[in-house]
Amino acid sequence: MARRSTSLHLCQLDNSLPYSIRVLLEASVRNWDGFLVKEEDVMNILDWKAKQNNVEVPFCPARVLLQDFTGIPAMVDFAAMREAVKNLGGDPSRVHPACPTDLTVDHSLQIDFSKCAIQNTPNPGGGDLQRPPAKLSPLKAPRKLPCRGQASCRGPCDSESGRNSGPLSVQIENTPLLCPFHLQPVPEPETVLKNQEVEFGRNKERLQFFKWGSKMIENVSVIPPGTGMAHQLNLEYLSRVVFDVKDFLYPDSVVGTDSHTTMVNGLGILGWGVGGIETEAVMLGIPVTLTLPEVVGCELTGTASPLATSIDIVLNITKQLRQAGVSGKFVEFFGSGVSQLSVVDRTTIANMCPEYGAVLSFFPIDNVTLKHLKHRGFDEAKLKSMEVYLKTVKLFRNDQLSTGEPEYSQTVHINLGSIMPCVSGPKRAQDRVAVTDMKSDFQACLNEKVGFRGFQIPPEKQHDVVPVEFEGNEYQLSHGSVVIAAVISCTNNCNPSVMLGAGLLAKKAVEAGLTVKPYIRTSLSPGGGMVTHYLSSSGVLPYLKKLGFDVIGYGCSTCVGNTTPLPEAVQNAIMQGDLVACGVLSGNKNFEGRLCSCIRANYLASPPLVVAYAIAGTVNIDFQTEPLGADPAGRSIFLHDIWPSREELHQVEEELVISSMFKELKEKMEKGNKRWDSLEVLESVLFTWDWKSTYIRCPSFFDKLAKEPLPVQSIENAYVLLHLGDSVTTDHISPAGSIARGSAAARFLSSKGLTPREFNSYGARRGNDAVMTRGTFANIKLLNKFIGKPAPKTIHFPTGKTMDVFDAAEAYQKENIPLIILAGAKYGLGNSRDWAAKGPFLLGVKAVLAESYEKIHKGHLVGIGIAPLQFLPGENASSLGLTGKEQFSISFPQKLSPGTTVDVKTNTGKLFRVIATFDNDVEITLYRHGGILNYTVRRLL
């Protein structure tokens, strides 16, 4: 093979090494530099059997995937670093990610418009709307679309009149859809247009900033709104599988700021979700550090039932892997059953790994993968090159070779033949319920005590019925009534069989005269244009729409709570009767109250079952013995009457899932969309900051940055900003929710002319350090021992006044007084959150002194320039007699080493030693520079 690769290092590998570990090994060999990646790291990975779970190893992924909420602070940092490099005399254009970085704008979509309501919300995103929301017209009935005069046209281009005449197409932006009568484009559904219009209006500032980054920062690519989900585009469009850079081949791998990044492991690409600082570090050329993982082998055998969908397989595997205890481990699939799963089945399974706790679920590349890539449009020469390379470096799985399977830390055996259709709920993804047992199980949940499953409804109230009037008609609500039914983007959009199954079931239901009650909030949120393409081209989209499953847009919506509120009459009826109302969705998260505070039971189901339960109007039904409804003649219609056969599904798949689909979608995504193209940005190396903006602001990380780092400075006479207990989470430190009206952040936004309705959330304002710093420790549940009750308050000791945390920190900074935080065990638990480190740094915190840390957050503190100090074993603030009201002086040696101890002295005369918990020389280097951002700026001078 003419192309170069790392094959010379890996071709002699022992076949017993798991494939996922081989990817880690290849990356370490390729990126070895003696500092960030050392020879010892390579040898530790090679000796995985002995070293698993005992050593830390670096991993340099090939690329980074960002979504807009977590991507914006990283992009703001890069823009700010350009300013810093220029101010220090360097070339700002050199500031760019070290690896390809793709950012998808997919988390800003909200369902302002759906099939039966328009939510005329204020403009929480700031900026000028192209058209005020109050003037947007309510949804109208489908319009008769005018014929454009073609002589060959045999009818009008509207879905109603053409429903029984043949397949129809509905134009969605980024999908190549035509009217079946005269092959001319037809307009987009009004729902999508309206949601996209509001999205572009409320997020105009952020979108302009992203567009500047895509144009002016090398290695940054931005996928605009309306295109699809980060994880879906990662699978369909962004995945390389094997990189070919100047004739150098190496495996594709990725870290992303979305928990669904793991979906890509179904394509044989190693990847998982991480926090903002980890992704930013990778963008800056710093590897991710992880404990060399245990790898659980999951052997799949047998063949699944024809009635079982990918969702049934996913939920079965979820339950069995959770029971096996795979938290924090890699899962790798092998066995004869693997080859019977398509790539879309595999990605659906891999997408669920956060629900059973695994870091990732890896399907090695095999012949099934190559066939899928051929459909995607990979040419034969490229596929052949990939195959030769992967086989050479032993990253290709082949059932037909008798080389034996890898050895695993443990093995889980799953017989696909035992899997039957099921749903999951009512509160947790791992609680599977066979569809045949649904009615009896729901009734059991009504009886059980309140807990993971139960609702404890008294027997005499379990049959209560509450009337509700909606749109002039009266309906009956009871326990089990479905009020939200959502076919959403998370898990199913990559799998044609389950999505088409929903469409074909809808078609048969409509033809049988079945309907969905109008008060049920139904929606269809595809993950990308491909989904809408095959739903429309197959002719099923009009039938889904007829049942209320309108395409509402492309983005995370119902799954993350962004749904139109339930009708007030329905909410009142639920509360009046204390009813256990239900939501049914085809996602992967169903925590209680996630969809709506008044919905207590949430079930995960395959898309066809979501439609079926919407038609039934209740989950309290036995599909085997009870009908979904009746046709106009009064004949009972059962589920089996309208359930599509596998033969029907296969026929439609063969007609639709073809190579031209991927090729056409690629062309459409590269072309972009009109709204994105019309955004105007100044093409300059440096970003033009708008100092009036409340969303995008140049952070103050580099205000006092010098060309050379100063020697490590001791901390003298520091006050304690907060005295905290155990298990302080990143949400306590940097909340992501709404901004309280009386908070420091609210006062700042009010001073900028914003009303409380326009405050939005901390999560939406991550690009503004002034808001995020004021939001640090602003959680109302924060328990500061100085205050004695939950409140975002502390004491400013020089004056003795109780203040908001930000106000106290600001006062200390004006007096040039350094700050530390005292904490108990497990400081920094919870979601990885970059502002949980950045915020304290900008408040003036120089060190945290805790009993122990959550590992990822400790790394974040180092990465921003805060010293993570730890009490000696058996000691804590209480045992040392510390009240937190003292002043602390901390002496650092000039030559720091991993795990060194340092002296701490208080103004009351106490002297004790603590551990500076730097794990390696890289962390010490970053700390000496004042964090990874400063280190990068200086490296580029």
* pLDDT (0 to 100) of residue 342: 80
Structure tokens at 503: 């469409």
- Confirm if 270 and 251 have CB atoms less than 8 A apart: yes
CB atoms within 10 A of CB 690: 13
* Identity of the residue numbered 474: E
**pTM of the shown model:** 0.73
Residues 6+ apart with CB under 8 A from 156: 144, 145, 146, 147, 162, 181
- Confirm if 613 and 324 have CB atoms less than 8 A apart: no
User: Kind of pairing, strands 901-906 and 253-256?
Assistant: unpaired
Structure tokens at 700: 């103050």
* pLDDT (0 to 100) of residue 355: 78
Question: DSSP code of 396?
Answer: B
Q: Quote the CA–CA distance of 853 and 870 in Å, as a whole number.
A: 8
- Confirm if 276 and 74 have CB atoms less than 8 A apart: yes
CB atoms within 10 A of CB 374: 15
Question: DSSP code of 228?
Answer: B
Q: Give Cα 24 to chain centroid, integer Å.
A: 23
Name the nearest CA neighbour of 271 among 328, 224, 315, 231: 231
Residues 6+ apart with CB under 8 A from 756: 741, 746, 750
- b/e code 160-174 from CB counts within 10 Å (16+ = b): eebbeeeebbbbbbb
Q: Quote the CA–CA distance of 897 and 908 in Å, as a whole number.
A: 29
DSSP track, 5-71: ESHHHHTT--TTS-HHHHHHHHHHHHT--SSSS-HHHHHHHHTHHHHTTTSEEEE--SEEEEEHHHH
Q: What pLDDT digit, counting tens, does each position of 799-856 carry?
A: 999 999 999 999 999 999 999 999 999 999 987 788 999 999 999 999 999 999 998 8
DSSP track, 799-822: TTEEEEHHHHHHHHHHTT--EEEE
Specify the residue for token string 């399974």. 349
* pLDDT (0 to 100) of residue 291: 93
* Identity of the residue numbered 79: A
Distances (CA, A) of 368 to 92, 338, 373: 45, 9, 9
Q: What pLDDT digit, counting tens, does each position of 901-915 carry?
A: 999 999 999 999 999
* Identity of the residue numbered 246: K
Q: Quote the CA–CA distance of 179 and 414 in Å, as a whole number.
A: 46
* Identity of the residue numbered 273: G
- Confirm if 325 and 356 have CB atoms less than 8 A apart: no
Name the nearest CA neighbour of 805 among 929, 696, 719: 719
Q: Quote the CA–CA distance of 941 and 912 in Å, as a whole number.
A: 40
* pLDDT (0 to 100) of residue 203: 77
Residues 6+ apart with CB under 8 A from 895: none
Distances (CA, A) of 722 to 306, 799, 868: 59, 16, 15
Distances (CA, A) of 414 to 335, 385, 428, 523: 10, 34, 21, 34
Q: What pLDDT digit, counting tens, does each position of 477-535 carry?
A: 999 999 999 987 554 445 567 888 899 999 999 999 999 999 999 989 876 666 777 78
Q: Quote the CA–CA distance of 348 and 80 in Å, as a whole number.
A: 38
Name the nearest CA neighbour of 525 among 490, 474, 575: 490
Phi first, then psi: give them for residue 93, nearest 5 degrees.
-70, -15
Q: Quote the CA–CA distance of 491 and 495 in Å, as a whole number.
A: 8
Q: Quote the CA–CA distance of 724 and 849 in Å, as a whole number.
A: 10
- Confirm if 350 and 235 have CB atoms less than 8 A apart: no
* pLDDT (0 to 100) of residue 112: 57
Phi first, then psi: give them for residue 570, nearest 5 degrees.
-70, -45
Q: Quote the CA–CA distance of 758 and 122 in Å, as a whole number.
A: 7
* pLDDT (0 to 100) of residue 233: 81
Name the nearest CA neighbour of 581 among 594, 567, 568, 571: 571
* pLDDT (0 to 100) of residue 615: 97
Low-confidence ranges of the chain (pLDDT < 70): 1-13, 106-196, 198-199, 306-307, 310-311, 400-403, 489-496, 527-530, 554-564, 588-596, 646-647, 650-651, 653-666, 668-670, 672
* pLDDT (0 to 100) of residue 758: 87
Angle formed by the axes of helices 646-656 and 496-511, to 10°? 120
- Confirm if 581 and 601 have CB atoms less than 8 A apart: yes
Name the nearest CA neighbour of 765 among 11, 73, 35: 73
Distances (CA, A) of 9 to 29, 46, 247, 387, 479: 8, 11, 17, 18, 63
Report the DSSP beta bridge partners of residue 450. Answer: 454
Burial of 651 (0-12, 13-18, 19+ CB in 10 A): exposed
Q: Quote the CA–CA distance of 169 and 221 in Å, as a whole number.
A: 31
